[in-house]
Amino acid sequence: MAAADKPAGFRRVLVALDTSAASGATLEIAAGIAAANACELIGLFVEDQDLLRLAGLPFAREVQLAKAMSLALAPDRLLQNLRAQAGLARTALARQAAIHHVSWSFQVAQGRSEEAILLAAVQGDIIAMARGFGPLAQVGRLSRRVRLLAARAPGPLLLSANPPVQRPGPVLLPYDASPAAEGLLGVAADLARARGQPLEILLLGDAKERGVEIEARLRAAAGNRRLPPLRLWAPRDHAAALRRLTQADRGLLVLPADSPCFAPGEVELIIERSRVPIVLQTDQMPAAS
């Protein structure tokens, strides 16, 4: 229960960047979280080594549809293009940092995208990334790749919505009083307060009878800080809870992936179908499939 007794306390927001629209939307959310938590915004651009190796293969081609051209994919030209994209990403980061009045820094890393992100992350970070960034854009189920990365990350993972749009709305937390849900209760409250939005808690399992207790704890934990508007809702049944989690079209979802209230495959279903950004935390690797 300690998580509800103190702020989330993010030290940095590490946002993985490219030049896509999805990356831009993720950056805007990340900058807002950094501002609300008075912490640093770190931009990371990865020169992916797998892509550079691919460019060195003799059969690799670059197709320019607008010019109806197909050219050999030269590693030096690809690296030049990547560094130009890094410059654009840095400019976008500086612009959002100025808008949100936060300190910022920018770094370029070489390696595999997923490994580079994990190497750059430290304890106290929240990692923000677009659904289509690096390893998440590869062939394979998005939900499995997300859970693999989240399980190895030192803190929560913020995954952008699909499509990458942001609509103001509540911070939504499914809560069953399990250690996984307890660990994100304080995070969800802090994010709601930081975003100036309500905190909506879906009371699941035995937690359905603990609404008054949860509200009292949150008020005590807030101390002199303003508590966000609180909505406590006990869905009619588990199916109704899943519909709320998969069909939310505004706000932010805080998802305790290790919560026992979810049957096998349900967390993956939520990740795949979610239309809002997700803050995910898990210590468990996904089962082999």
Residue 65 lies in a domain: no
Residue 59 lies in a domain: no
What pLDDT, in 10s, does the model give residues 116-158?
999 999 888 999 998 877 655 555 577 888 888 888 999 899 9
Residues 178 and 139 in one domain: no
pLDDT at position 259 is 93
Residues 99 and 236 in one domain: no
pLDDT at position 53 is 65
Residues 22 and 46 in one domain: yes
pLDDT at position 50 is 67
pLDDT at position 61 is 45
Residue 67 lies in a domain: no
β-sheet bridge partners, residue 17: 45
Residues 178 and 261 in one domain: yes
Residues 201 and 266 in one domain: yes
Pick from 98, 131, 159: which residue ends a domain? 159
Residue 115 lies in a domain: yes
Q: What is the CATH number of the domain that holds 265?
A: 3.40.50.620
The tens place of each residue's pLDDT in the chain, 289 residues long, gives 333 333 456 789 999 998 777 788 889 889 988 988 889 999 999 887 766 666 555 544 443 333 333 345 666 777 788 888 899 999 999 999 999 999 999 999 988 888 899 999 988 899 999 887 765 555 557 788 888 888 899 989 999 877 666 688 999 999 998 999 988 888 898 888 888 899 999 999 888 888 888 888 888 777 777 788 999 999 999 999 999 999 999 999 999 999 999 999 999 999 989 989 999 998 877 665 5
Residue 98 lies in a domain: yes
Residues 175 and 148 in one domain: no
Residue 257's domain spans which residues?
171-281
How many structural domains is the chain composed of? 2
Over pLDDT 70: what percentage of the chain?
A: 82
Residue 213 lies in a domain: yes
Residues 100 and 148 in one domain: yes
Residue 39 lies in a domain: yes
What pLDDT, in 10s, does the model give residues 164-200?
666 889 999 999 989 999 888 888 988 888 888 999 9
Pick from 103, 129, 159: which residue ends a domain? 159
Residues 121 and 208 in one domain: no
pLDDT at position 22 is 74
Residues 138 and 44 in one domain: yes
Q: What is the CATH number of the domain that holds 128?
A: 3.40.50.12370
Residue 91 lies in a domain: yes
